[in-house]
Chain A
Amino acid sequence: MKFWIGAAATVALAAGLALSGANEYFFYAGYVVLQFVVLATAWNILGGYAGYVNFGTAAFFGIGAYTAVLLFKAAGAPLGVQILAAACASGLLGFGTGLLTLRLRGIFFSIATVAVIFIMQTAIVNWRYVGGATGVQLLRPPAMPPFDSYTRMLFVVMAIMAVVGVCIARYIEVSRIGRGLRAIRDSEEAAECSGVPTLKLKLFACTVSGALMGAAGAPLPMYMSFLEPASSFDLNYSVSALAMPMIGGTSHWLGPVIGAILLGSVQQIVTVTISNEINVLVVGVLLVVFVVAAPDGVLGLLRKLKWFHRSFR
């Protein structure tokens, strides 16, 4: 119950902010942070619960973005349709990737997901209709009535997606599926032997995770009003989506959210105040530091405090 009130409050807060007179830049940066909440949560479904490290976030994200471009160019589809279609396309890609690679373990799976990024990127580079290597310029439609600007509207859309994503992740975590995935993480052989349908569960997790990543990518072309393959399939998305749950804590749905908000905000501040390169460096360094010094992330550190333990478990 507490959770649902929190979820509703988050959406209401985002909508309230967007209708208020806050500075436009706030929404511009907030959008990116929320986008990373979705990506990190999606990554955690497969990476955190099942222990399969996915380096391919950028592939799903990019395919989501390009599905939106394709629909917008071909049919002028509205944003909602773009997001749904992007989720379907990336979910399909996730299913395909899973079918091909989920029989592999550990690093083999991870490297295969890197391969998916580069193959998708090459395919898009060679596809003229969606802009090829040079990218595609898009004209934003006018903003919907209650919002004064398109960025504000996208901010609210992304907030809704973040909440929906977290709800899905939480549902998976507390249901049978989550228990099965955790069993896979601890010992795949043991899980298989005790009757857990491992391949089915992994495929499901991979599909849902991919679909969420694609949905997160769908509003990107409208947000930037420009899209090109090199930046939308950037490996930086993969490392961020992996670093955020690792920093926040992978075992609880709150972990990726904390990690994404923390790291995403730091990234935004660093990008504005110092430079874009330092921002990737921050991600890398924090990832290594947390993985080495605090394997359970911020949540693991907090859990040592008693009040937290009582109120969340």
Chain B
Amino acid sequence: MLFGILVGCFYAAVSIGLSVAFGLLDVPHVAHPALMVLGSYCTYLLGLYGWDPIVAGIALTPLFFLLGVAIYRFYYETFEKRGSDAGVRGLAFFFGLAFIIEVGLILVFGVDQRMVEADYIGKSLSLGGYRIPWRLLVAFGVALLLTAALTLYLSRTFTGRAIKAVAQDEPALRLMGANPVRIKQWAFGIATAVTALAGAMLIVVGPVEPSLDRVYIGRTFCVVVLAGLGSMTGTLLAGLILGVSESIVLTQFGASWAPAVAFGLLLVVLGIRPQGLFGR
């Protein structure tokens, strides 16, 4: 149960970038988990030079920000601007992108699992008979900070509010004299930057392999849809729900059923309440 809560917070953190990109900007960002795994591998590379994974993740954010801006710019110029049939082609584009990243990683690093070294990995904290691994606690802390920071950013700062405004009513924003494309570009950059940090946590929590993004398609989209598109607090809660239900299935039915939990939950939510718990 406690394990589920910790993992749940971690799930919320890895989904929060998607919550911005997909929930607020309506970009069909299927490549999000692949970018996250890319972040993990970058962290791994920096870890070889003795960098702490969390520091490495933070150091990677500017790079991923630029990458995100570039991806959105490209997506906008080729699909959103043309307008026609953007949905089908945009989806195919991101799906293809995810595969290119995954195969690229396989070609460079091979299919083996990789992990990082740090003081807090491998040790655990004993608390009233329970043993909680430190790596989960670290990921939990970063996840909580990240979610809080992004929530505050979106509700308190000028640009943050602008991002929410784009999500609500783009033509209105255009009439106000603001450029929605630049704001979306900025937001997508932030979403991708957050993904770098999420990737760093992913490799802290456990070993990473290139095809890990496939399972995380289910987990991240499950959290975002369950939360209700673009709701930050909802993301945290949805992450917790997923984490706890996964750990319950894990202990009751065994590990081989666990991958289906996120996807099953996703299907149920889509079937019953597509607008999620905190839908707009």
B-binding residues in A (CB < 8 A): 47, 51, 53, 55, 100-101, 104, 106-108, 110-112, 114-116, 118-119, 121-123, 125-126, 133, 235, 239, 242-243, 246, 277-278, 280-281, 283-285, 287-288, 291-292, 295
Contact = CB atoms under 8 A, between A and B. Distances in A.
Interface string B92-104: 1101111110111
B274 A104 contact: yes
B197 to A, nearest CB: 24
Interface residues of B, number: 40
Given A55-B95, A280-B103, A283-B99, A106 B87 contact: yes
A78 to B, nearest CB: 33
Contact of A284 (B85, B87, B96): B96
B271 A291 contact: no
Contacts of B225: 108, 111
A281 B30 CA distance: 17
Contacts of A106: 28, 87, 91
B100 A285 contact: yes
Interface of B: 22, 28, 30, 78, 82, 85, 87-89, 91-93, 95-100, 102-104, 106-107, 214-215, 217-218, 221, 225, 256-257, 259-260, 263-264, 266-267, 270-271, 274
Given A115-B264, A118-B263, A239 B95 contact: yes
A115 B259 CA distance: 10
10 contacts: A55-B95, A107-B30, A107-B91, A111-B217, A111-B225, A112-B267, A115-B267, A126-B256, A287-B99, A292-B78
B93 A242 contact: no
B263 A119 contact: yes
A53 B88 CA distance: 6
Contacts of A288: 93, 96-97, 100
Report, nearest first, the 5 A-B pairs whose CB atoms are least far apart.
Answer: A284-B99, A115-B263, A122-B260, A287-B96, A107-B28
Interface of A is mostly: helix
A281 B96 contact: no
A295 B93 contact: no
Contacts of A291: 89, 92-93, 96
B96 A114 contact: no
A133 B217 contact: no
Nearest to B82: A295
A104 B270 contact: yes
Contacts of B271: 100-101
A287 B92 contact: yes
B273 to A, nearest CB: 12
With a 10 A CB-CB cut-off, give which of A51, A106, A243, A278 has the most chain B CB atoms: A106
Given A112-B266, A119-B260, A119-B264, A51 B107 contact: no
Contacts of B214: 118, 235
A233 B148 CA distance: 38
A168 to B, nearest CB: 22
A15 to B, nearest CB: 36
A53 B92 contact: yes
Contacts of B217: 111, 114
A45 to B, nearest CB: 14
Given A114-B218, A114-B263, A115-B218, A284 B97 contact: yes
Contacts of B102: 280
A128 B99 CA distance: 31
A47 B267 CA distance: 20
Nearest to B105: A277
Nearest to A126: B256
A209 to B, nearest CB: 15
A284 B92 contact: no
